[in-house]
Amino acid sequence: MKWQAFMGHFIFIGSLFITAAITLTIKWLSQRRQRRSPLYGKQIGHLPGQQLLERIDSESFEASFGVDVMIIAAPLLTLVWATMRINWGMVRLGVGELIFIAGWLGCLIFGAWKYQRHAKRRQQARDGLLAERVTGMQLNRLMSEGCLILHDLPFGSFNVDHVVVSPRGVFAIETKSFRKPKNISAGKPAVVAFDGSTLRFPDFATSAPLEQARRQAQSVAGFLRETLGEGVYVQPAVALPGWWIEKNQAGKAGDIFVFTPMGRGCEWFARGDETVSAAKRGLIAQALATKYPIASE
């Protein structure tokens, strides 16, 4: 009887132990090669409702945990009760048992893969959300300079992160969050070089954000041309929160503006000669605002 009770507890406790060990191992391996967000440790301010949003996330997790406990309580305790009553001395390892063991291992591997995959995606989504909120918060300061700002503008299958309608022009901004390598200490600036066609980070290079920003700017310009009946040039821009941007002459003279929204980085949009009158800025902003869904009563 003691042997049966031991096996019953072992199946339950052993499963929990193995799951915890796999989860901690995945986290440890992830942290060993983890890139650090360039926004880590920086004072970025608070947006309206930020503390409530954090509270909602925390309470949602606790509520989901409570539901999970209610759902698995009866089957789990029934399993423990049943395994304690198995005569393990009569159990023989055969084909049926091997099938169940293989099924358990398959579920274990599948669960570990799902956890690793979605934990990574969750972190990427959190980084992206933080980057967009930081950029949006800094862009909002330009309203005192006569700029009109729109965020997360829907365009069918994609959203334009930010649109700035300023006296000097119209800009479609794509915000990107790239983590910096661990070998760059927290106190040193994360530097990215821009040569007009490529973003060169410390350990890789990419032009994908630039191409995406250009496509989105063309989409915004096309919509304004159809809506207003006249051409409006929309300049693409890429925001890289937390990164220090180094540009050569080609980068400075290129068709796309790459910037960091930190500090005074956003003030560039409000500087320069006025090429868009206040009346036209209002018409452009009103046209773009029609892309937002109308809230139902």
In a domain, 95, yes or no: yes
Higher pLDDT, 182 or 101: 101
Tell which phi-psi region holds residue 64, choosing left (phi > 0), alpha (psi between -120 and 50) or beta.
alpha
Query: pLDDT tens for residues 118-166?
Result: 878 888 888 888 888 889 989 999 998 889 999 999 988 889 999 999 9
No. of helices (H) and no. of strands (E), the chain: 6, 9
In a domain, 216, yes or no: yes
Domain that holds residue 179: 1-292
Identity of the amino acid at 248: N
In a domain, 81, yes or no: yes
In a domain, 297, yes or no: no
Which residue shows structure tokens 């051409």?
231
The DSSP H or E segment spanning 19 is helix 2-32
How does 28-48 read in b/e, with b if 16+ C-beta sit within 10 Å? eeeeeeeebbbbeeeebeeee
8 A C-beta contact, residue 213 and residue 256: yes
In a domain, 220, yes or no: yes
The number of folded domains in the chain is 1
8 A C-beta contact, residue 210 and residue 255: no
In a domain, 135, yes or no: yes
In a domain, 78, yes or no: yes
In a domain, 274, yes or no: yes
Query: 190-194 and 243-247 as β-strands: parallel, antiparallel, unpaired?
Result: parallel
CA 131 to CA 100: how far, in whole Å? Answer: 46
Q: Is the pLDDT of residue 108 over 60?
A: yes
Give this prediction's pTM: 0.75
Residue 31's pLDDT band (cuts 50, 70, 90) = low
Q: Is the pLDDT of residue 254 over 80?
A: yes
